[in-house]
Amino acid sequence: MRTSNLTDAEIRSLGYRALVERLGAVGAARFIRQHENATDDYSGTAGPLEDMTTEEIYREAARLERELREESE
């Protein structure tokens, strides 16, 4: 998949979906929480999650998990 033409929002959505697919909602939220306070900024830009609380991240991951479950039914 070519990601160079995707917006930041599209990348974020695909990333959430990948995390939820592999880790489930709770695992995805735990993974994201571990990285939300990281100070390494390898790209020179602010991370896409910096304006989200842990609760918002969990709700988004849970929503994606439900969506993925519905798609597979």
How many folded domains does the chain comprise? Answer: 1
Task: Please state whether the predicted TM-score (pTM) of the whole model is above 0.75.
Answer: no
> Is 21 inside any structural domain?
yes
* Per-residue pLDDT at 37: 63
* Per-residue pLDDT at 66: 86
pLDDT tens-place string over residues 19-66: 889 998 888 888 888 876 655 555 554 555 667 777 887 788 888 888
Of the candidates 30, 13, 15, 29, the one whose C-alpha atom is nearest the C-alpha of residue 62 is 29
* Per-residue pLDDT at 43: 52
* Per-residue pLDDT at 36: 67
* Per-residue pLDDT at 22: 93
**Residue 31: domain span:** 10-37+49-72
Burial 37-72 (b: 16+ CB within 10 A, else e): eeeeeeeeeeeebeebeeeebbebbbebbeeeeeee
CB atoms within 10 A of CB 27: 14
> Is 28 inside any structural domain?
yes
> Is 16 inside any structural domain?
yes
